[in-house]
Amino acid sequence: MKEKNNTLLWIFLALLLVALATLGFLYWNQHNELNEMVEQMTIEKEELQEEYEDLAIQFDGFQQMDIRNDSLQDLLSREQQRVQDLLEELRQTKASNARRIAELKKELATVREVMKDYVRQIDSLNATNARLTEENILVRRENQQFKEQNTQLSTLNTQLTETVTRASMLEVTGCTFTPLNKNDRKTRIASHIRKIQFEYTIAKNITCTPGMKDLYVRIIDPEGNLLNESETNLFPFESGEIPYSATQQIEYSGEAYNGVCFCPIEEVVKGFYTIDFFCEGNLIGSFPFQLKK
Task: Specify the pLDDT at position 57.
Answer: 77
The highest-level CATH class for domain 150-291 is mainly beta
Task: Specify the pLDDT at position 34.
Answer: 47
Task: Considering the chain, tell me which residue range(s) the CATH 2.60.40.3880 domain(s) occupy.
Answer: 150-291
Task: Specify the pLDDT at position 53.
Answer: 78
Task: Specify the pLDDT at position 236.
Answer: 92
pLDDT in tens, the chain (293 residues): 656 666 766 776 667 666 666 766 565 555 555 455 556 667 777 777 777 777 777 767 766 666 666 666 676 777 777 777 777 876 777 766 777 777 877 877 777 777 777 667 776 666 676 776 777 777 777 667 666 665 554 554 565 455 556 656 889 999 999 999 999 999 888 888 999 999 999 999 888 889 999 999 999 999 999 998 888 999 999 888 999 999 999 999 989 999 999 999 888 888 899 999 999 888 999 999 988 76
Task: Specify the pLDDT at position 88.
Answer: 81
Task: Specify the pLDDT at position 157.
Answer: 54
Burial of 84 per CB tally in 10 Å (0-12, 13-18, 19+)? middle
